[in-house]
Structure 1
Amino acid sequence: MITASRPGTDRHRLYASTTDTYDTDLDIDYVAVERVMNGDLVALTLTEKAMAARLLDARGASIRSIATLLDVDKATVTRWKATGWQVKRPARCGEPRMYRRHVYRGETPCRRCRDAFTAERRNERAAKKQTTTPGRDA
């Protein structure tokens, strides 16, 4: 009888959390994170990948091995580490920064993005108006 094992399975199993299985605030599935940390092929969200990278880094894994395991670029893992493992959420329609992306790409901004951008500019003007000196009465 031949016994086969995957490379790296001779080490002890890594655990992401001992009590929780899911974090609703951060939208992290700790079971999926744990499985990927132990070499299983699991589809992770960007936030879950950053969590797995942070945990693997804390356990002494190299940037290269983390990037390979999570199927991301080494520069991505390095950037996450430099920013304290924070992940910038992708822009979605209905946000002011998505309006700017539409414009940058030469697209016509959608209604939700135009409304969000307009509201942001309105709030900026109102905040600027409040900070001006009140002694300019005529």
Structure 2
Amino acid sequence: MNRPLATRALPTRQRISIPTTNTYSQGVDWVAVERVIYGDLPRPDLTRTEQLAATLLLIRAGWTEKRTAEVVGVQIRQVSRWKFEHGLGGARTCQVDGCGDQVKGRRLCYRHYRQDERRRKAAARPAKKKASTPREAAKCGTRSGYKRHLRENTVVCPPCRRANAEYALSQYHTTPQKEAA
């Protein structure tokens, strides 16, 4: 079964009005911009101001953001930013009162989006449980009692010293030593 090849819709080929009086004005080489728009080869590299000028011309002529980004050589997101900055629509503003920045996600600008992310992560983390009753101090005559003496920098009592020695023998000697009968 033969399927037709997928094709991409080409933008309408309206004649785009490019300033013809000067070939270079306000930091823009209009000949280079025209060559990029019409796809003349070799394709010239555009400066940032030339990219902006070409983007605004194409958007005003009805080109899509995606196709404009491909032709001009910038990211789609940049085309969206430029549209927003120059009042050509396409972008929404942050829902937080008094903030007029462009939306990143969840109807929030970048700054408020990050704040919301931190708040969500903090809410998702389980709360730390506090000990309901304080622990009992380690009793003398045990290894933990010996370690408590060391931690508190007190004199080690004989029962704790003996408990630590027995622990060391049981840990580091493979055969227990038998007491002399």
Compare relative contact order (CA 8 Å, sep 6+) and give the higher one, 1 or 2. Answer: 1
Which protein has the larger Cα radius of gyration, Structure 1 or Structure 2?
A: 2
Q: Normalised by the size of structure 1, how large is the TM-score?
A: 0.49
More helix by share: 1
